[in-house]
């Protein structure tokens, strides 16, 4: 039975998809979470009846003209019976009541998640969010909010910044004054603040066994900050799914996020795999293989025929009625688990940066930014750090060029940022880009430094347009005029690369 409609986050491509969501969708979410909890507990056993500090947020649900309830997948799930059943089955309970999750104002919800997480700090067995961005965002807020949080714990009060009446009521019903806990938290914060919050998580949550969240793909850039907060606490990569369907479960929780694979659960949907070949390879019976911008495709094959080492795009035929729906992700088969393929998430398929014959994906951009961010860190003695980034191909100038926006924390001299800009330009290895740069048919890369809080403004812009924090992914490339306006208005300095000069 079709019961709901779903908006996907749509943040990767800047537009929201509208896909159906049914009772079956909520049940597969329950299955995914209980399955992955079982695998995790083999490696990192947790106490029964313990708490989870979950940075989760649901958005608004509303009715379509046809009478379906619409909202994001996570919104439906948190409102469903399955969310409650999952907690009972896994014997782990979220610190925050539903009124906090569904308050509809992510800043206020984050405050309450933190407050309740601290209030139950001795019972917290692990910390989680759907995407790791959510955890990093929450701890960045914590750096600003900790004094107010301590004050509330000391007096059993709730800051006046929390305005949503139902949430206020629900939180005040739970917390009571706890002087000694407030003093303990205050002591820890004073100690770790001077170390730029290094090791904050295990200090505040001494019984936490791990941090669990999606850390792959576009979430990888946040790992550095998370590792800083977590100081060696295991990071367990979350499972692989989309608003259309769940796909796979992380059955090797001890694998580092950089090499994690997801075992496909064949009953979630009917999975087909479109073989992808880079740079117009010959591909077997490829006389009718369709050439795409970035890859050459072969005919889709069923799950039982996939090969280790091959890259594919997944097509889903779902129980909600989607027929051969392409997911837009590139995955690679890394091995098998009891006969089902284990997938490495490679990147979003769509090319994100292209001016003419050059082709660069999200993964290429990520690698280039990572290289330059080492320069930023090493030449500023770890004082400066990349907070977030995005990019676009500026075609309004002649010749066009790549523009990369960075928000940084800490201080960096202009000459360091200048080298970062040049480093990024030189680090794109795509042949089309290198040739175009050498022949000046693409201009020098521009690094724009934006003011502190710019990426929060971008998040707010998405949230104002109906996205939820839970499913938010910073777009790594954007043509969205609203975002470009924010980015340009917040640009403080521009550094043009001198590579290929």
What is the DSSP annotation of 471-490?
A: G----SS---HHHHHHHHHT
Of the candidate spans 60-68, 179-187, 213-221, 315-323, the one that interacts with ligand AMP by CB under 6 A turns out to be 213-221
Among 110, 137, 216, 344, binds ligand AMP (CB under 6 A): 216
Integer Cα distance of 13 and 77 in angstroms: 23
CB of 242 to ligand AMP, least distance (A): 4
What is the DSSP annotation of 28-80?
A: HHHHHHHHHHHHHHHHS---TTEEEEEE------EE-TTS-EEEEHHHHHHHS
Query: If binding is defined by CB under 6 A, does position 222 make contact with ligand AMP?
Result: no
Query: If binding is defined by CB under 6 A, does position 235 make contact with ligand AMP?
Result: no
Which residue, 99 or 362, is less far from ligand AMP as judged by CB?
362
What is the DSSP annotation of 181-208?
A: HHHHHHHHHHHHHTTTTTTHHHHH-TT-
Among 50, 134, 238, 334, binds ligand AMP (CB under 6 A): 238
CB of 329 to ligand AMP, least distance (A): 5
Per-residue x/- track, 264-303, ligand AMP (CB under 6 A) = ----------------------------------------
Integer Cα distance of 49 and 41 in angstroms: 13
- Contact yes or no for 241/32 (Cβ under 8 A): yes
Query: If binding is defined by CB under 6 A, does position 361 make contact with ligand AMP?
Result: no
Among 133, 212, 240, 392, binds ligand AMP (CB under 6 A): 240
Which residue, 377 or 390, is less far from ligand AMP as judged by CB?
390
How many of the chain's residues bind ligand AMP (CB under 6 A)? 16
Integer Cα distance of 156 and 52 in angstroms: 21
Among 4, 5, 8, 358, binds ligand AMP (CB under 6 A): 8
Integer Cα distance of 123 and 128 in angstroms: 14
Which residue, 150 or 215, is less far from ligand AMP as judged by CB?
215
**Is it true that the peptide bond before 399 is cis, omega within 30 degrees of 0?**
yes
Of the candidate spans 241-249, 266-274, 317-325, 391-399, the one that interacts with ligand AMP by CB under 6 A turns out to be 241-249
CB of 440 to ligand AMP, least distance (A): 35
Query: If binding is defined by CB under 6 A, does position 360 make contact with ligand AMP?
Result: no
Integer Cα distance of 135 and 323 in angstroms: 35
Query: If binding is defined by CB under 6 A, does position 9 make contact with ligand AMP?
Result: yes
Integer Cα distance of 249 and 500 in angstroms: 45
Q: Which residues bind ligand AMP (CB under 6 A)?
A: 8-9, 12, 214, 216-217, 238, 240-243, 327, 329, 345, 348, 471
């Amino acid at each position: 039975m079709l019961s709901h409609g779903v908006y996907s986050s749509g943040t990767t491509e800047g537009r929201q998809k509208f896909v159906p969501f049914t009772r079956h969708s909520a049940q597969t979410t329950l299955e995914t979470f209980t399955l992955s909890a079982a695998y995790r507990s083999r490696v990192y056993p947790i106490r029964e009846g313990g708490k989870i500090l979950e940075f989760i947020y649901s958005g608004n649900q509303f009715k379509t003209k046809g009478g379906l309830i619409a909202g994001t997948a996570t919104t439906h799930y948190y409102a469903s019976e399955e969310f409650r059943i999952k907690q009972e089955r896994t014997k782990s309970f979220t610190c925050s009541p539903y009124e906090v999750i569904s308050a509809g104002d992510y800043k206020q919800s984050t405050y309450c998640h933190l407050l309740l997480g601290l209030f139950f700090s001795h019972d917290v067995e692990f910390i989680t969010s759907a995407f790791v961005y959510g955890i990093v965002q929450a701890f960045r807020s914590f750096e600003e909010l900790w004094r107010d949080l301590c004050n509330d714990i000391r007096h059993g009060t709730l800051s006046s910044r929390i305005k949503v009446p139902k949430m206020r009521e629900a939180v005040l019903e739970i917390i009571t004054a706890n002087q000694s806990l407030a003093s303990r938290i205050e002591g820890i914060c004073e100690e770790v603040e001077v170390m730029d919050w290094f090791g904050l998580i295990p200090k505040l949550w001494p019984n936490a066994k791990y941090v669990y969240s999606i850390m792959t793909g576009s979430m990888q850039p946040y790992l550095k900050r998370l590792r800083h907060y977590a100081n060696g606490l295991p990071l367990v990569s979350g499972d692989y799914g989309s608003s259309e369907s769940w796909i796979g479960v992380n059955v090797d929780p001890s694998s580092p996020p950089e090499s994690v694979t997801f075992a496909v659960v064949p009953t979630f949907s009917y999975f087909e795999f479109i073989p992808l070949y880079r740079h117009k390879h010959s591909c077997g019976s490829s006389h009718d293989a369709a050439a795409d911008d970035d890859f050459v495709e072969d005919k889709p094959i069923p799950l039982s025929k996939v090969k280790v080492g091959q890259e594919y795009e997944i097509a889903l035929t779902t129980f909600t009625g989607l027929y051969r729906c392409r997911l837009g992700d590139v995955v690679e088969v890394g091995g098998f688990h009891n006969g089902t393929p284990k997938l490495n998430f490679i990147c979003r398929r769509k090319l994100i940066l292209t001016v003419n014959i050059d082709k660069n994906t999200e993964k290429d951009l990520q690698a280039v930014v990572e290289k330059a961010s080492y320069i930023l860190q090493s030449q500023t003695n770890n004082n400066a750090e990349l907070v977030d980034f995005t990019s676009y191909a500026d075609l309004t100038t002649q010749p066009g060029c790549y523009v990369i926006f960075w928000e940084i924390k800490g201080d960096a001299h202009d000459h360091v940022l200048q080298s970062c800009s040049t480093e990024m330009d030189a680090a794109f290895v795509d042949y089309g880009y290198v040739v175009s740069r050498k022949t000046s048919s693409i201009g020098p890369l521009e690094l724009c430094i934006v003011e502190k809080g710019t990426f929060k403004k971008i998040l707010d812009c998405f949230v104002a347009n109906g996205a939820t924090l839970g499913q938010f992914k910073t777009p790594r490339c954007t043509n969205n005029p609203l975002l470009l306006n924010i980015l340009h208005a917040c640009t403080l300095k521009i550094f043009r690369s001198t590579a290929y000069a």
